[in-house]
Each structure stands twice: as C-alpha cells, then as structure tokens.
Amino acid sequence: MLCRCCQAGQLTMAYYSNCYLSVAGNILSELSLLFLGSQLLVAIAFASGIFAFWQQQRSAMLKFWFISALLNASHFALLGQYEAALFVSLTAIRFLVAAIQPRRHWMLLFMAGATTILITTFNSPLNLLPYAAAMLGTFGSFQTKVGRVRLCMALGASLWILHNILVGSPVAVMMEIAFLLSNLVGFLRTRRLATKMASPTFVD
C-alpha cells in the first residue's frame, strides 16, 4: 500500500513538473519572439531615422522621424517599457505636427503632454531619461533653423543611448549611435554646401 502511495506521489510530481516545464518553455518562447519582434521593429526605425538625417528640407526630415518614432514606440511596447513607449508615441505625433504646423503653442502643448506622462507613470529614475529626451526633441522640432533641430536631436539621442543600454536593447543602442553619427555627417554636409554657395566663386 505504501509503495503504491509513493508511486502515485511520484507520478503526480512528474505530471506537475512536466506542466511547469511546458508552461515555462512557452513563456520563454513567447518572450524570445517578443524580443526578436522588438529588435526587427527598431531596425526598420533605424533605417527610417538614418534616411531622415540625410534630408535637406526640415519638413521631409521630420516626416521620416515620425515613421522612425512610431516604429520605435512599438519596439519599446514589445519590451514592456510602456513609459518609454508613451514618450516616443508622443514624439511621433509631435514630429508630424511640427512638419505641418511649426507653431509655438504646439510646442508648449507637447511639453505639457510629456510632463503629464512623467507625472502619471513615474515609477523609476529611469523614466527621467526619455522625459528629458522628449523635452529636448520637442524644443528642437519646432525650431525653424535646421542647425538647431540637429543639435537638439543629437542631445536627445545621447540620452536615448544611455536609456537603451539600461533597458537592454542592443539594436536600439546601435540605432541611436548611428543617428548621432548621421546627424554629424548631415550637419557637416549642410555647412559645406552653405559655405560653397556663399563663396563668390560659386556658379549655379
């Protein structure tokens, strides 16, 4: 009788152990798929952002950043970083509005929106990084001079690099580093073109 009870206990333990391993395996598989999906989205966002930095017109630059930010927000949502996803979603809308109507009252509205998100979702000092990046980006998006836009985006990208290192998103880190480098190249290219056009020997 005791032997049968032991066998029954062993079978029960084996059953629940198999169930646990199966559930754990499914969860890990799902998390892996979410991570891979997030990295794919941010890779596409990366391409769109790089293309944006090569635009000479402010409006075209902001529209490509809109696409990049929308994909980047989806990437953060898949990683479970919902506060960052909210900040970047607001950034995406801001880029689109700034491309169409670069007016000061919109800038103040988006700054208020970013502050509201920070206050209502704050649960870690980590949230301060996307907030600061959003504020810099908001100010930059509504500047009429491309040089100022680029400077603000460079500072914002630096904050996002730190944030993405801390949340463990390698493709997002590489994306922001590439944005910084592309921003620098685009800035130098614009300066060189402006200098060339200002030269008295320049012939159109």
- Tell me the mean pLDDT in the region 160-172: 87
CA distance 146 to 56: 8
Share of the chain above pLDDT 70, in %: 80
Q: What is the pLDDT of residues 131-148, one digit of tens each?
A: 999 899 889 888 888 788
Token digits of residue 14: 């084996």
pLDDT at res. 111: 93
Q: What is the pLDDT of residues 4-31, one digit of tens each?
A: 555 555 544 554 445 443 444 444 455 6
- Please work out, in degrees rounded to the nearest 5, the angle formed at the alpha carbon of residue 171 by the alpha carbons of 131 and 111: 15
